[in-house]
Amino acid sequence: MPTLQLYVWEEFMPDWTGGLAVAIASSEEEARAQVILQQGGYPPSDWGLLSIHPINTPIAFAVSGGS
């Protein structure tokens, strides 16, 4: 079984503020496909910044909103 990782896109599809997208997958291609499916089949115009993390260690993310 392939190793799963946590894929995190910060500043995902920014408008007034940046969004956040996350997926657990075995590859970046699979993670992107999962996000596209979650978005109703529409690929995002701006993915933002990607970070990839093993899921065998504790990790947290927080994104503040604002103007």
Q: What residues does each domain of the chain span? A: 5-54
Q: What is the pLDDT along the chain (67 residues), one digit of tens a residue?
A: 679 999 999 989 988 888 899 999 999 999 999 999 999 999 999 999 999 999 887 888 777 776 5
Q: How far apart are CA 57 and CA 16, in angstroms?
A: 33
Residue 6 in contact with residue 52, Cβ under 8 Å?
yes
Q: What's the predicted TM-score (pTM) here?
A: 0.84
